[in-house]
Amino acid sequence: MKAKKLFSVVSVLLTLVLCLTACGADTDVSSNGESGSSETEYQDTITIDLNSEISNFDPAYLSGVPTSRVACFFMDHLCYMDHDGNIIPRVAESWEANDDATVWTFHLRKDVKWHDGTPLVAADVKYNFDRIIDPDTAALRASDMACIESVEAPDDYTVVFNLNTPVAAFITKCLLINPALLAQPAALEEYGESFTDHAVGTGPYKLVEWVPGEKVLLEANPDFYLGEPATKYIEFRLIPDGMTALIELEQGNIDFLFNIPSTELGTFETNDDITLANARDFGVAWIFLNTDMEPCNDINVRKAIAHAIDYQTIYETMLSDFGVIADSYLPDHNWAYNPDTTKYTYDVEMAKGFLADSGWTDTNGDGLVDKDGQTLKLEIGATKREADNILLEAAQSYLRAVGIDVSMSVLESAAYNERLASQDFQAYVLNISQDSPEPALLIDFAFTSYAGYNKFGYNNPRVDELVLLANSTADTEARKEIYMEIQALIKDDYVSLPFFSRYAQVGVSNKVEGFTHSAAIFNLEQVRVKK
């Protein structure tokens, strides 16, 4: 009898909890920052997920994609990219370079104001760049701006960059990167290390507040020189777990989702309220072969590896959700793409032939090739990114079929990056995102002998020479020819195996209007979200 009473107490309590939660849900009308006004048809807030904490809004120390995505709403670059990756005016309304691309002159708009209402003048731009190139600032990526010798501001609306070397792609390489974001000098000086809490720029939105661990709130800038944005607020909500963020998108609590769990792409096919927007990214996923280490210092081994893999089948069966197949160092939609480079056709016999040419044969019948009693072993490093692991596992089985004993080192990103930085992998998967079609960004940064991303010991003097030539060539057609030749040279050296060019993906609520997705920019100035 008593037990029955207790049982009913438990039931009542449980019912109470459920009722409370249900009542709570009914009153949830403002969870997405809606204004609550019944006349307006649109929400006053666009909500976007952030998968990791903001780092630092000071352009000198700003790092990481999420931070940069937020910062670009309230700080401007001199120029901008359109959805196709073309460079268009922003703070600078026009510009010109001298014949050898060593002096770049920018003419600024006269109606650009900082968020506190003071006008932006050329001296402000000079201040920003002087600060970045000053060694005492120890700015991140200062070396990307090493070509800048000096910056001048001859009048209030003209900025002149004097370079110490010709750089035809100066705008893309130096003016569209994080340290080139324009921050108000007065705010930088006044707030110093706490600039992140008080960032002042010229962008379409102003920073209202950053609550660490929770959110960043931006408010439309009514004085924005290209017109006030359509939606009043943008809220970036920190949601580290991709699955949770996807549920929030499905529930309509966020409008854009960047951190899409790769195993859940199917959700977008079954849910009519959300869409997966795919845009072509300008980066490529490769396996790089380290020419400084055995066994890939032997071109025959590299050739054997290249021809042992069936790229087409791997792509069609496993990678088509992630991007488009690639066969060069630039994806096929890049203006400088060369379709006529040496093809790495899948041919097991040819691969075995290359191995035999260097003395690697299966003498003991264990299925693995050997030479002087040593089996041919290859360690390939990768991060835990799913697409990278899929391509690596597939490549491993194909390489095993020609007798190469491949071991996979799938590492946490910190451990992977440390080994990569010290050039410690015999081979590695590198899958980088690139928002710009500028070929210099991929080729110069990875394939010159001095490149930061060249962690595979590649050194082809002709490639270095052509890169210098491309840098001092202003004519686009001529540059295209040079980059096509570079692609052919690299492909003939068998130093890296292109697999696929990935999609830039974003999950979008179907209530969103006026949004165009591209890898180049994430622009929400005309975007509205229906209630």
Contact residues toward other proteins (CB under 8 A) are 2-3, 6-7, 9-10, 13, 21-22, 24-25, 27-28, 31, 52-56, 58, 61, 63, 135, 138, 140-143, 193-194, 196, 211-215, 237-241, 243-245, 247-248, 250-251, 253, 411-412, 414-415, 417-418, 420-421, 445, 451-453, 455
Q: Are the beta carbons of 231 and 530 closer than 8 angstroms?
A: no
- Residue 412 CB, shortest distance to other proteins, in Å, is 8
- Least Cβ distance, residue 522 to other proteins (angstroms): 21
Contact between 73 and 57 (Cβ < 8 Å): no
* Residue placing its CB nearer to other proteins in the complex, 140 or 330: 140
**Shortest Cβ distance from residue 381 to other proteins (Å)?**
12
Q: Which residues contact 267 (CB under 8 A, 6 or more apart)?
A: 246, 250, 274
Do the beta carbons of residue 254 and residue 357 sit within 8 Å?
Answer: no
Minimum distance from residue 321 beta carbon to other proteins (Å): 22
Q: Are 107 and 158 a contacting pair, CB within 8 Å? A: yes
Yes or no: say if 460 and 322 are a contact pair by the CB < 8 Å rule: no
Q: Scanning the structure block, which residue is given the tokens 């403002």?
A: 30
Judged by beta carbon, residue 196 or residue 496, the one nearer other proteins is 196
DSSP for residue 470:
H
Minimum CB separation of residue 310 from other proteins in Å reads 30
CB atoms within 10 A of CB 52: 12
Return the ∠ at Cα 173 (arms to 158 and 258), rounded to 5°. Answer: 110
Residues whose CB falls within 8 Å of the CB of residue 41, separated by 6 or more in sequence, listed in order: 530, 531
Contact 229, 45 (CB under 8 A): no
User: Scanning the structure block, which residue is given the tokens 């006026």?
Assistant: 514
In the complex with other proteins, which residue's Cβ is closer, 53 or 357? 53
Closest separation between CB of residue 115 and other proteins, Å?
Answer: 21
Q: Whose Cβ is closer to other proteins: residue 50's or residue 378's?
A: 50
Residue of 96, 57, 100, 95 whose CA lies nearest to 78: 95
Left (φ > 0), alpha (ψ -120 to 50) or beta: where does 163 sit? beta
For other proteins, the closer of residues 420 and 504 by Cβ is 420
9/208 with CB nearer other proteins: 9
Q: Is 362 helix (H, G, I), strand (E, B) or coil?
A: coil
Minimum Å distance from CB 468 to other proteins?
A: 18
Element containing residue 482 per DSSP (H, E)? helix 476-492
Tokens (6 digits) for 265: 């792409």
- Which residue number, 381 or 403, has a Cβ lying nearer to other proteins? 381
What is the dihedral sign for C-alpha 212, 216, 222, 226? positive
Amino acid at 213: G
Shortest Cβ 473–other proteins spacing (Å): 24
Closest distance between other proteins and the C-beta of residue 390, in Å?
22
**328/497 Cα distance (integer angstroms):** 8
Q: Which two tokens stand for residue 1?
A: 């009898």
CA-CA distances (angstroms) from residue 29 to 26, 43, 189, 252? Answer: 8, 11, 42, 12
Nearer to other proteins, 165 or 476 (CB): 165
Amino acid occupying residue 408: M
Burial tier of 107 (Cβ tally within 10 Å: 0-12, 13-18, 19+):
middle
Q: How far is the CB of 26 from other proteins (least distance, A)?
A: 9
In the complex with other proteins, which residue's Cβ is closer, 105 or 271?
A: 271
Please answer whether residues 347 and 307 qualify as being in contact, where contact means their C-beta atoms are separated by less than 8 angstroms.
Answer: yes
Residue with Cβ nearer other proteins (18 or 478)? 18
Cβ proximity to other proteins, 140 vs 284, nearer residue: 140
Show Cβ contacts of residue 64 under 8 Å, excluding neighbours closer than 6 positions.
52, 55
Closest contact distance (angstroms) between CB of 16 and other proteins is 11
Least spacing, CB of residue 18 vs other proteins, in Å: 8
Length of the chain: 531
Which one, 150 or 194, has the nearer CB to other proteins? 194
Between 163 and 245, CB nearer to other proteins = 245
Kindly calculate the radius of gyration of the chain based on its CA atoms and give it in whole angstroms. Answer: 27
At closest approach, how far in Å is the CB of 83 from other proteins?
26
